[in-house]
Amino acid sequence: MLEIQGLDAFYGASHVLQNLSFTVPAAGRVSVLGRNGAGKSTLMKSIMNAGPRVRGRLALDGRDLARIPSFRRARLGLSLVPEDRRIFPHITVVDNMTISAAAAGERVALQPERLLSMFPMLQPLRARYGSQLSGGQQQMLAVARGIAPNPKFLLLDEPTEGLAPVIVDQLATAIVQLCDMLGTGLLLSEQNIWFARRCTSRVHILESGRLVFEGSWPEFDSDPDIKQRYLSV
Amino acid sequence: MIECRNIHKSYGAIAVLKGISISVAQGETFALIGPNGAGKTTFFKVLTGETPANSGSILFKGEEISRLNASARVHRGFGRTFQVARILPGNTVLENLVIAVEARLRNQGHRSGFGLAPGREIVEEAASMARRTDLDDKLHQLASFLSHGDRKRLELGITLSLRPSVLMMDEPTAGMSPSDRRQTIDIILKLRAEEKLTILLTEHDMDVVFGLSDRIMVMNQGEPVAVGTIGEIRTNAAVREIYLGQDDHDA
Amino acid sequence: MQIGFAIFNGLTVGMSIFLVASGITLIFGMLRILNISHGSFFMIGAYLAYTIVGTEPDSVIGLAGGALAAALAMAVLGLVINVAVFRRLRDVGEAYSLIATFALLMVCNGLVKAVWGVNYHSVSAPEALAGAISYGGFFAPIYSIAIIGLGVLVFLVLEIVIHRSPVGKIVRAIAHDPWMSNLVGINTPLVYALVVMAAFFLAGLAGGLLLPNQSVTPQLFESYLLQSFMVVIIGGLGNIRGAFLGAIMLGMIEGLNFLFLPRLPGILIYVVLIGFLLWRPQGLFWQPGAQTSDQHEVMTGGVPSSFPPRATKTRIAIGVVLAAVVLSLPEWANQGLLFIVGFALAEAVLALSWNLLFGYAGLATFGHAAFFALGAYLVGFMLRDGGGVPFLVLLAASALVGAASALIVGFVALRRTSGIALGILTLSLGEILRRVINYTPELGSDDGLSGIPRPVVELGLFSVDLTSERAYFWFLAASCGLIALALWAYTLSRNGRILVTMRQDPTRAEFLGIDVRRHRLYAFVLSGAIASLTGGLYAPWAQIVTPDAASYLHSTQPMLNTLLGGSGFFWGPVVGSAIFSALGYATRTFAGLSELISGAVLILVVLAAPGGILGLGAKFGRLRRRRAPTAPDVPAMQRSAP
């Protein structure tokens, strides 16, 4: 279970997240929707202690995460796939999958062969260097690298950004399958509602750093005003 | 007013712009839209002179400007705002605007007098620009302490203090709350009327795009998909497919 | 045969340098800190080993054992330095981190002088290494072969670990993207600590093993510092293969220099370095992440105000009192104090001119003393041997020469380089000048230009006799004051506002119609002119100018003054130079103490108060004001209209 209570996050003097509270149950799947600049990425980074200055309580399975550095959080079972993917360019696809083994901690990391079978698109590219991949391939690899240490929660930050619709479809399939199979919890920040709906069961909406909606997809759909007001795509 | 022909641009082996041509008339508001990675920002940078195009020509009021650097284009009447507002964080709101007014006077060839401080009329003009951008209650606040929306408005004020003939805005409402957004659109509309501006903008928010633009170009993967009025773009099948189509999935 | 010998010697030099350069490379490659103090840690290693093995190590094992012990001690010291200093440098700007490591260098050098004294020691090679191998008339000292072997060995080990091992993948992952490395569970702080320890270990090892190759003096750090820097820059910052090739190149160039330019030792390498920086500022090998942006620099230390302040009574009173104290000095102060104050005045103006580039234009240069030396030598030489050119004409000429040389340097340098490359480029130019002066007998070579007479200024109707110390002091103080006020006025005018705009956001400046490159060049020229003019004023005061005036050590003085006082304030450099001069005066009789204290103070400033002393003052002032009821704030700039 991932608990967030009264979370504030700051970049310099600007107060990006304001008093955020919610929980993601074990193996739960939650989307965080919101416009550019609403604070979605800041939320993801705050959970990992990877950038913003944070105040408030964060706990994983009851364990308080305060002041724990990001590499330890990774080992405890949180895995962030950042917005800009950050594939290591100097090593191969397979090495990118194994480098995150350090984050497995006491869990059993997934072997590259198994990951490659989940992401068939990467199969023929296994010996390529990270720098030689296209955007879609990088995103697939970033997700594979993120899931490789078999985390308790996978944090995906806008994975569909800039991807062709076909790839988005493949990505959704892979993510759903993986989470089902491994029992991984998912916190997904998105602007693509269709994708978020495929991958998650609940939806949260961020607006200017505040949580303005929390509910299931049917609840979300029952109020068309929400979409208009906060997302207006 | 702006005439762009066949702009090509690549970063290394990756072609980002594959032959873009546009023509924007005096007083027109022209929007560039398209999914992330479509090349909007690169095209913008080519127009403003931040990055050179590999080939193609840009005519501004009949003059070929594609070889000029950004500051030279500003001297000819370009004004530019950024996705993340570029302001002077170590100066106050008023100082930011004073510096901008002074810059315009310098660009127009006015010499500064013997006094060190900016003249009264400069300060007054800056203060009035702060009023027009709804910042007059924050004149003496350091810009680094401004909220996101205030920063964007300050940047707009800085840019308009240059009295540009064409205003280039990269996502003028990115990351704003709906109320901020509405306020910003209103200010842009008001200032556009007062200054008789020609505007080029990129934007994600369709409300903003439809609320401001006369004509729209939709880009995808470095190529133009369609150019036309709001009505034409709304009904264009290809556009729905690649850009507005996300709503269809949703249904 | 001579060529063969030169090449062999060059290789020996190159590999010695590589041992130090490899440590600099490791630290930069991982932590993005260019550790200027590495040469000093090498020196400490050498001293430690010397303490263990004495002047005549009896066997190779003894020498190696001493070196190993020194290396281990240095590794521990590296751990301490990493925790105490390096870890805290992540959040400060590039220029600040350079200056912090420079402060470390001062602390180390001060420490060495305080512990081991300033005397010179030499260590002989153990017998087994003392001989030479001859082959067909070609002699190769065994010791040199051993050094070359060691260099190659260290390279191979590093090459295998970094490029061909699983550990290397992790290490390079951190070099590429420390943030993401952390997120995939890599304990980056631990890796950083290990890398720093390895680098320091290598410095200690080199210090111990190279003992028989050089004399052990407190100047030992210097040659290794500059040369290993060159190696690192030529090779590409942070790239170990580059450093290895760079070291070989450097050795070869030194060899060629020895063959073809024996009168100007060590100058060719600077010429090559400058060519390199202009041709390929990123070095032979491009290292990902090595180019750091200037964006981060922007707010560290604060942006100085470019709007005229209100002339409050307090401010005017402070100015009047300070002027009165300085001008009355010849009436009551002793000669030593008077000399120090005159010196401090010149240093203060030099620092003001440097901060015009750093604090206002956002350019960090490391060779500012070169302009100072140009002016000082010009005026000094002409007063002594120039045959009656009027003094004021000489001063004007010194400003012009400074401006012209700054124009040439700036035109080329600002076009091609920024950040670290600009710093190293300007540093190299300063060193070239120093060396040229050093080997020009007409300028007094090493000993400097001494016996510079003080002038009598002819003003047509009457003349002013400046030959007495009192008279020249008044002239110097008044000139420095006028220059400072004129520069202040400049920074408070539209021109100053252009500068701070460029510094805060060059892109915004471009889109205000400011041609950033051109205005940076203007600032460069103005700064060079003032620095040179200050040198010209200084020469008759000191009555002697030595090549040290152009050295990089002197170039760092304005930086130290500026940072200590506060780069975000026009008068910061003056405050800093007053404090440093006072420190120097108070500790003048203890060898090393002044360096130690100055260095320690500087590290504290960079780590704890990057706004300098004035920055601290302003912070407290704000706190006090926040508590007090706020007075209505009339915008200062609205009062005067031209």
| Residue in chain C lying closest to B125 (CA) | C638
C-contacting chains (≥3 CB pairs under 8 Å) = A, B
- Inter-chain touch B98–C641, beta carbons under 8 Å: no
Contacting residues of C for B48, CB less than 8 Å apart: 511
Q: Is the pLDDT of residue C22 over 90?
A: yes
pLDDT at C155: 95
Q: Which residue has the higher pLDDT, C425 or C633?
A: C425
Q: Is the pLDDT of residue A231 over 90?
A: no
- The pLDDT-based confidence of C589 (bands split at 50, 70, 90) is confident
- Inter-chain touch C512–B94, beta carbons under 8 Å: no
What would the pLDDT profile of A91-122 be if each residue is shown by its tens digit?
999 999 999 988 888 889 999 999 999 898 89
- The pLDDT-based confidence of B178 (bands split at 50, 70, 90) is low
pLDDT at B116: 85
Q: Region C491-512: what's the mean pLDDT? A: 93
Interface list for chain A against chain B, based on CB atoms closer than 8 Å:
12-14, 35-38, 135, 161-162, 165, 192-194, 197, 207-208, 229-230, 232-233
3-state secondary structure C213-257: HCEECCCHHHHHHHHHHHHHHHHCCCCHHHHHHHHHHHHHHHHHH
Q: Region C563-578: what's the mean pLDDT? A: 93
Contacting residues of B for A135, CB less than 8 Å apart: 37
Contacting residues of B for C303, CB less than 8 Å apart: 88, 90-91
Q: Region A168-183: what's the mean pLDDT? A: 91
pLDDT at A218: 93
Q: Region C286-312: what's the mean pLDDT? A: 64
Within this chain, domains C2-291 and C298-309+348-621 share the same CATH topology: yes
pLDDT at C541: 95
Q: Is the pLDDT of residue A233 over 60?
A: no
A2's enclosing H/E stretch is strand A2-11
Q: Region B7-35: what's the mean pLDDT? A: 87
pLDDT at C234: 83
What would the pLDDT profile of B121-166 be if each residue is shown by its tens digit?
999 999 999 999 889 899 999 898 887 788 889 999 999 999 999 9
Give residue limits of the domains in chain C.
2-291, 298-309+348-621
Q: Which residue has the higher pLDDT, B194 or B101?
A: B101
- Which residue among B82, B106, B120 sits closest to C641, beta carbon to beta carbon? B120
Rounded to a whole number of angstroms, the distance from the CA of C186 to the nearest CA of chain A is 6
- Inter-chain touch B175–A192, beta carbons under 8 Å: no
What would the pLDDT profile of C178-198 be if each residue is shown by its tens digit?
999 999 999 999 999 999 999
Least confident of B110-114, C104-108, C456-460: B110-114
| Residue in chain B lying closest to C637 (CA) | B117
Amino acid B213 reads S
State phi, psi for B215 to the nearest 5 degrees.
Answer: -135, 155
CA distances from C408 to A140, C26, C521, C528 (A): 52, 35, 10, 11
DSSP reduced 3-state for A78? strand
- Which residue among B35, B205, B245 sits closest to A162, beta carbon to beta carbon? B35
Q: Which residue has the higher pLDDT, C489 or B244?
A: C489
Residue A40 contacts C, CB cutoff 8 Å: no
Contacting residues of A for C176, CB less than 8 Å apart: 88-90
Residue C169 contacts A, CB cutoff 8 Å: yes
- Inter-chain touch C187–A71, beta carbons under 8 Å: yes
Q: Which residue has the higher pLDDT, B210 or C536?
A: C536
Q: Is the pLDDT of residue C148 over 70?
A: yes
Q: Region C596-607: what's the mean pLDDT? A: 86
- Which residue among B147, B171, B207 sits closest to A232, beta carbon to beta carbon? B207
| Residue in chain A lying closest to B250 (CA) | A194
B-contacting chains (≥3 CB pairs under 8 Å) = A, C
> In degrees, to the nearest 5, what angle opens at C-alpha C467 toward C-alphas C463 and C469?
130
Answer yes or no: pTM beyond 0.80.
yes
- Inter-chain touch B207–A35, beta carbons under 8 Å: no
- Which residue among B71, B117, B121 sits closest to C514, beta carbon to beta carbon? B71
Least confident of A189-203, B131-145, C257-271: C257-271
- Inter-chain touch B246–A37, beta carbons under 8 Å: no
Contacting residues of B for A36, CB less than 8 Å apart: 171, 174-175, 204
Rounded to a whole number of angstroms, the distance from the CA of A224 to the nearest CA of chain B is 12
Within 10 Å of residue A60's Cβ, how many Cβ atoms? 19
Give me the helix-helix angle, C469-491 and C313-332, nearest 10°: 160
What would the pLDDT profile of B198-244 be if each residue is shown by its tens digit?
999 988 777 788 888 999 998 888 888 889 998 888 888 777 666 54
Topology (CATH) of C2-291: ABC transporter involved in vitamin B12 uptake, BtuC (1.10.3470)
Q: What DSSP string runs through B75-125?
A: HTTEEEE-SS----TTSBHHHHHHHHHHHHHHHTTPPP-S-SSPPHHHHHH
- Structure-block tokens of residue C334: 């002793």
Residues above pLDDT 90, as percent of chain A: 64
- Inter-chain touch C633–B50, beta carbons under 8 Å: no
pLDDT at C501: 94
What would the pLDDT profile of A208-217 be if each residue is shown by its tens digit?
889 999 999 9
- Inter-chain touch A13–B144, beta carbons under 8 Å: yes
CATH of C298-309+348-621, one of 3.40.50, 1.20.1280, 1.10.3470, 2.60.40: 1.10.3470
pLDDT at B195: 84
Alpha helices by DSSP H, listed for C492-571, are 494-504, 506-510, 516-542, 552-565
- Inter-chain touch C513–B159, beta carbons under 8 Å: no
Least confident of A198-212, B165-179, C477-491, C564-578: B165-179
Alpha carbons B134 and C157: distance in angstroms, whole number? 64
- Which residue among C492, C516, C633 sits closest to B116, beta carbon to beta carbon? C492
Q: Is the pLDDT of residue C420 over 80?
A: no
User: Which domains are present in chain B?
Assistant: 1-74+166-172+195-251 (3.40.50.300), 78-163 (3.40.50.300)
- Inter-chain touch C188–A74, beta carbons under 8 Å: no
Sign (positive/negative) of CA torsion B233, B238, B242, B244?
positive
Residue C313 contacts B, CB cutoff 8 Å: no
Chain B contact probe: residue of C485, C508, C634, C638 with most B CBs at under 10 A: C508
- Which residue among B37, B144, B177 sits closest to A162, beta carbon to beta carbon? B37
Q: Is the pLDDT of residue A150 over 70?
A: yes
Contacting residues of A for B141, CB less than 8 Å apart: none
Contacting residues of B for C641, CB less than 8 Å apart: 115, 117, 119-121
Contacting residues of C for A70, CB less than 8 Å apart: 182-183
Alpha carbons C349 and C538: distance in angstroms, whole number? 11
Q: Which residue has the higher pLDDT, C40 or C223?
A: C40
End-to-end CA distance of chain B: 42
| Residue in chain C lying closest to A146 (CA) | C184
- The pLDDT-based confidence of B171 (bands split at 50, 70, 90) is confident
Rounded to a whole number of angstroms, the distance from the CA of C150 to the nearest CA of chain B is 41
CA distances from C290 to C38, C199, C237, C286 (A): 19, 18, 6, 8
- Inter-chain touch C507–B50, beta carbons under 8 Å: yes
Rounded to a whole number of angstroms, the distance from the CA of A181 to the nearest CA of chain C is 21
- Structure-block tokens of residue C280: 């390929």
What would the pLDDT profile of C153-174 be if each residue is shown by its tens digit?
999 999 999 988 888 899 989 9
Q: Region B191-200: what's the mean pLDDT? A: 90
Residue C625 contacts B, CB cutoff 8 Å: no
Least confident of C221-230, C347-356, C392-401: C221-230
Are C193 and A64 in contact by the 8 Å Cβ rule? The answer is no
- The pLDDT-based confidence of C300 (bands split at 50, 70, 90) is low
Residue A104 contacts C, CB cutoff 8 Å: yes
Contacting residues of B for A37, CB less than 8 Å apart: 148, 174-176
pLDDT at A49: 93
**Window B:93-112, CB contacts with C under 8 Å:** 94-95, 98-100, 102-104, 106-107, 112
Alpha helices by DSSP H, listed for A77-200, are 93-99, 112-118, 135-147, 165-182, 193-199
Residue B113 contacts C, CB cutoff 8 Å: yes
- The radius of gyration computed from the CA coordinates of chain C, to the nearest angstrom, equals 26
Q: Is the pLDDT of residue C103 over 70?
A: yes
Rounded to a whole number of angstroms, the distance from the CA of C527 to the nearest CA of chain B is 20
Alpha carbons C183 and B116: distance in angstroms, whole number? 52
Paired strand residues for B215: B30, B229
**Average confidence score pLDDT of chain C:** 86
Residue C501 contacts B, CB cutoff 8 Å: yes
- Inter-chain touch B147–A13, beta carbons under 8 Å: no
- The pLDDT-based confidence of B175 (bands split at 50, 70, 90) is low
What would the pLDDT profile of A14-60 be if each residue is shown by its tens digit?
788 999 999 999 999 999 998 777 889 999 999 999 988 999 999 99
User: Which domains are present in chain A?
Assistant: 25-38+80-230 (3.40.50.300)
pLDDT at C400: 97
- The pLDDT-based confidence of C594 (bands split at 50, 70, 90) is confident
DSSP reduced 3-state for B225? strand
Task: Give me the interface pTM, i.e. the ipTM.
Answer: 0.94
Residue C328 contacts B, CB cutoff 8 Å: no
